[in-house]
Chains A and B, each alone.
Chain A
Amino acid sequence: DAGVIQSPRHEVTEMGQEVTLRCKPISGHDYLFWYRQTMMRGLELLIYFNNNVPIDDSGMPEDRFSAKMPNASFSTLKIQPSEPRDSAVYFCASSHRQGGWETQYFGPGTRLLVL
């Protein structure tokens, strides 16, 4: 079974541009998470969905960030306009309750650099 798929793996853009990160969760998983990893703040949860519905977006830094999940197999995280401080690695993860466990499986991440 394929793991969580993220694209692009690397993104370099200029300040002010729109950035869209994409994620395909593991088939059958009903939770999807977006995390951001920086040296200063470590790994932090931005938002998560359950059955395509956003449940907790309290980690979204500001209105420049938005996330959607139009169906069970696809999600996007959009930054508009982007700023240099948005430079980070963005991870998508998915999970499904099995045997009493809900373990999050992570994608390879997207390394974003905003110049």
Chain B
Amino acid sequence: AQTVTQSQPEMSVQEAETVTLSCTYDTSESDYYLFWYKQPPSRQMILVIRQEAYKQQNATENRFSVNFQKAAKSFSLKISDSQLGDAAMYFCAYRSEGAQKLVFGQGTRLTINP
């Protein structure tokens, strides 16, 4: 079974700085999808960014980008120019090709210091 590990329970960063959240996963599959979701205090799960495993190019969405290292099974999220609104729990998730189930990591709580 696939597992997703987020080794940083908490992270903090100064406003306007850059922060990187770590995620590793364990799988024997070659085709899959990876996601980062954000959960602010409102509890709403919001999709931040997604990556197909067959694509070597790292996904980017405005201030959010990923560093996808397939061989190392690593999928980190970089947030540039951190803003107060970025404060939230961040969850890394894995989905197999052809499957529907999302496997989530334990989450990382990100604090933005003004």
Contact = CB atoms under 8 A, between A and B. Distances in A.
A42 B102 CA distance: 12
B62 interface: no
Given A43-B91, A101-B50, A103-B35, A95 B44 contact: no
A103 B45 CA distance: 12
Given A43-B91, A103-B35, A33 B100 contact: yes
Interface residues of A, number: 25
A105 interface: yes
Interface in A95-115: 95, 100-109, 111
A89 interface: yes
Nearest to A44: B104
B82 to A, nearest CB: 23
B45 A56 contact: no
A45 B44 contact: no
Contacts of B52: 100
Contacts of A50: 100
Interface residues of B, number: 20
A103 B47 contact: yes
Given A42-B106, A42-B107, A108-B42, A55 B47 contact: no
Nearest to A100: B52
Given A42-B106, A45-B102, A103 B43 contact: no
A48 B101 contact: yes
* 4 closest cross-chain pairs (CB), A and B: A106-B45, A43-B104, A109-B43, A108-B44
25 contacts: A33-B102, A42-B104, A42-B105, A42-B107, A43-B104, A44-B104, A45-B101, A48-B100, A93-B45, A100-B52, A102-B95, A102-B100, A103-B35, A103-B47, A104-B47, A104-B102, A105-B47, A106-B44, A106-B45, A106-B46, A108-B42, A108-B43, A109-B43, A109-B44, A109-B45
